[in-house]
Structure 1
Amino acid sequence: MKKLALLLGSLCLGLSLPWSAQAGQNFTYPVDDPVFSITFPDHWETEVEDDTLTAKTPDEAIEINLWALDHEDLEGVGESLLEQAAGEVDEIIDEWIKDFKLKSSDSFELGGMTFIELTGSGVDREEGEPLIVSVDFFSPDGENLFVLMYWGEPGAENTYANDMKSIVKSIAKQ
């Protein structure tokens, strides 16, 4: 999982939108002109590296990675843009998860933003353990496209259900 954070960070090369951490586990992005904020429970470990925010549960059963896709590398609008973004994330999944199977795709509204969610499962290539994966694409400002990727052990989403709900509900336009 630690290598995953480094890989995700490398996707953001050329992106110069830093994170700002405030009291507790609240982050705004970018610092100079924030477009959204997100809050993690105090007991989660958070780290920002190369414009990628990584958050983990205390037992590391769940890892969340959040980053912006470099809009200069993406062309098109709507479905075409989403297909390009999904292709980029698919490369990450292929590198870190074997036997990945997409189980569902959905969209939902939250805080005036549309989230496109893809969920599936597979096996961690490093540790050989089963994983549940969820990838959400969203744009708080209609210009920047963000990825919220969740990786977790089966059952961990039940253990941390309240934390997960609070994290997702905390995402707010600035």
Structure 2
Amino acid sequence: MKLSILAAAAAVLLFGTAARAETLLFPSDEPVASITFPGTWQATENESGIEGFSPDETISFYVDVATDKTSDKIVEDGIDFLAENGVTLKEGSMTESKSTVNGMEMEVIGWEGTDAAGPASIVLAFLAPAPDKILMITYWGTQGEEQKYGAEVDSIVNSIKPAR
């Protein structure tokens, strides 16, 4: 009996910890937003925001913080970042839409394209968690794999909230 209780407790600790979601406030020195990644994803703070990757690294998800003073270059910077990471945008494939995430207006620009693994879906999205701050989401995923992680990506996007 004691052994089965210990085994059950060990299983809860082992598997419960592995799947635990991680909420990050960023930037850590002066947080403007929070985001939650599934426990199976690799997520860390970088010099400009947050980066996260699916367990098999077929999905890349970045959130960068910009000020309203640097917003005029933000799309250009996003496209440059994609190119630096080997992502190519297919000419004529751009789409635009708007959405709302936790009360924040979000503008979304999407493309078809390619990355090192082949055909990819690419997104740049923008929302403002504070009057003078802009978040830029940069996402790309291998086509076919993005359906596998669709619910998790939706959950990540919908977890973005202004810092309190």
Q: CA deviation at 1:62?
A: 0.4
Counterpart pick for 2:108 among 114, 117, 130: 117
Residues 125-151 of structure 1: CA distance to partner in whole angstroms, max 9, x if unpaired? xx3612110111111102111111111
Equivalent residue runs for 1:124-135 within 5 Å: 124=115, 127=116, 129-135=118-124
* Aligned position for 2:128: 139
TM-score, length-normalised on structure 2? 0.76
Counterpart pick for 1:152 among 141, 149, 153: 141
Q: Which amino acid aligns with 2:148?
A: T
Kindly indicate whether the alpha-carbon contact (under 8 Å) linking 2:126 and 2:136 is maintained by their aligned counterparts in 1.
yes
What secondary structure sits across from 2:129 in the alignment?
A: coil
Paired residue total? 142
More off after superposition, 144-153 vs 49-58: 49-58
Task: Measure, in 1, the Cα distance between the counterparts of 2:68 and 2:140.
Answer: 24
Q: CA deviation at 1:69?
A: 2.3
CA distance change for structure 1 residues 140 and 47 in 2, over 3 Å: closer, same or farther? same
Kindly indicate whether the alpha-carbon contact (under 8 Å) linking 2:41 and 2:54 is maintained by their aligned counterparts in 1.
yes
* Aligned position for 2:4: none
Which segments of 5 or more consecutive residues in structure 1 lack a partner in the other structure? 1-22, 75-80
Higher strand residue share? 2
Task: Measure, in 1, the Cα distance between the counterparts of 2:134 and 2:23.
Answer: 20
Equivalent residue runs for 1:23-62 within 5 Å: 24-62=21-59
Q: Which amino acid aligns with 1:57?
A: S
* Aligned position for 1:78: none
